Amino acid sequence: MLGNGIVRALPWAAAAAILTTSGVVNASGFSAARFGGERGNPTESNPSTLYYNPAGIGFSTGTNVLIDVTTAFRSATADRPTSAIDNQNPFPDDAAKNAAALDANSGKGTLSNTIVSPMIGVTTDFGLDIPLKAGAAFYVPFGGQAVWDKNDAADPQFPGAEDGSQRWYTIDGTIRTLAFTAGAAYYIEPARLSIGLSGNVYLNTIETLRARNSDGSDDLEVGGSLKEGRSLISVNSTDFGMGAGVLWEAWRRKAWVGLSYQTRPNFTGKMELDGTLENYLGAAQPNKADVILTSSLPDVLRLGIRVRPKFRYEFRLFGDYTRWSAMDQQCLVDASISDLDSACEVNADGSFTNPDADTGKVIQNLSRKWNDAFGVRVGGSYWISKDLEVQLGGGYDSNAIPDEALDAALMDMDKFTATLGVVYQATEMIGLGVVATNVFYLERDTTDSAGNNDLVLPSRQPGNQAIYSQNIFVLNTNVSLTF
């Protein structure tokens, strides 16, 4: 049944990978907001500030269009030790098969992916001499996509191993939030202060193909038959949020201070994604069910200062505080469940809090228990001429995921960034920019930590202990138009 399951599930996963455009996981958690390059911060006035700080457009004039394409080149590894395997001696009467089974369930999974993410924004003063400005934008604030490499050296007696040791958490997956934003800002000229407000529509998608057993283990066989199966989930939701901010010109034409806040989706952060789950588990018949996946996204506070004391020089300092503690769990249930909140409430060991909950319809609880995270960046610009700007930047983003919750599907580490960019004002109307950023992730070793295999059902998962590493190189190319 494993082979049939893979054959039937992969076309769906491949279609998802081809037809969807994903964000780039290169800030805390799976934040992907790098559009705008060095000019994507809460002190600017270009259309990207509809997300970073809607007050920024209050300082704009005319009609402005920004088209930004982020191309990311991501490499990652997840090296699973044999100590993470549930059964250390699955075939005690066959030493050779026992060793082969341990090899099939451990080792290094790898990926090397290229991801493209677009952003387009428009702002206008309506051609009128009024203090009110407005705009709209489309972008990808959260998300990532991964297709893990095949293991060509996998032992054919354990066919599931061809999908890599990380397969218990991900083989091929997308988690993505598309955002549509409309905003307005009012500029108070005597105070040199702009106040902005925006409304966001979020289109959320999660599509994941992974290895799975019904008991949450990573056993390959039972009673001489293949046990390892496959699970394919495809769910979506539409959610709403708001943004607000202020931008103050503290020193006329020389210094700006910006502060902004983005709410959680639906203000609580809780989202219910509807869709389907296809299971191909061991010898059982394949089945497809309507499901709901609960998930969460954070709220974000941003603060920045930009100073341009001389025509040729500018300095920037900005940062964010992202409340990833909103991501406490992801709970997958049958769509017919009556009381979702009660059914998904669990104890510290992963067991149900409410013994009367409709447990038969709770398929899985994924324990996250993430932490709040922050990032800070510094940068500067030098104008070689009035039309040619060179940008430099560097920064740090903290890790949101504790050791016991880190897995190959959602990876995060402490990270440092280094940026080099060039912006050329080709004409009075057209500006061109290219910004290169490398995100250096610090390796994480969770092999000695408690893992998801220490939990009980419905939260129990295969061991997620591993050595994780990744690197992302990001290239922002953008065109700005002013009318």
Residue 356, in any domain of the structure: no
Structure tokens at 221: 């066989």
pLDDT in tens, 410-440: 999 999 999 999 999 999 999 999 999 999 9
* pLDDT attached to residue 338: 80
How far apart are the C-alpha atoms of 198 and 279, rounded to whole Å?
41
Residue 338, in any domain of the structure: no
CA angle 88, 94, 98 (to 5 degrees): 30
Residue 350, in any domain of the structure: no
Q: What is the phi-psi region of residue 443: left when phi exceeds 0, alpha when psi lies from -120 to 50, beta otherwise?
A: beta
How far apart are the C-alpha atoms of 306 and 45, rounded to whole Å?
12
pLDDT in tens, 214-226: 889 999 998 778 8
* pLDDT attached to residue 324: 97
Q: Give the total number of structural domains in the chain.
A: 1
298: number of Cβ within 10 Å:
25
Name the burial class of residue 214, with classes exposed (0-12), middle (13-18) and buried (19+) by CB atoms within 10 angstroms of its CB: middle
Residue 354, in any domain of the structure: no
CA angle 32, 37, 40 (to 5 degrees): 80
pLDDT band, very low/low/confident/very high, at 16 (cuts 50, 70, 90): very low
* pLDDT attached to residue 19: 30
* pLDDT attached to residue 21: 39
Q: Is the peptide bond before 458 cis (omega within 30 degrees of 0)?
A: yes
Residue 348, in any domain of the structure: no
205 residue type, one letter? T
Residue 415, in any domain of the structure: yes
Name 261's bridge partners.
244, 301
CATH number of the domain residue 48 falls in? 2.40.160.60
Residue 60, in any domain of the structure: yes
pLDDT in tens, 329-381: 999 999 998 888 888 999 999 998 887 776 678 999 999 999 999 999 999 99
Torsion angle (degrees, nearest 10) of CA 165, 169, 174, 179: -140
**pLDDT averaged over every residue in the chain:** 92
Range of the domain at 16: 2-327+366-482
Confidence check: pLDDT of 130 > 60: yes
Residue 164, in any domain of the structure: yes
Backbone angles phi and psi of 405, in degrees to 5: -110, -5
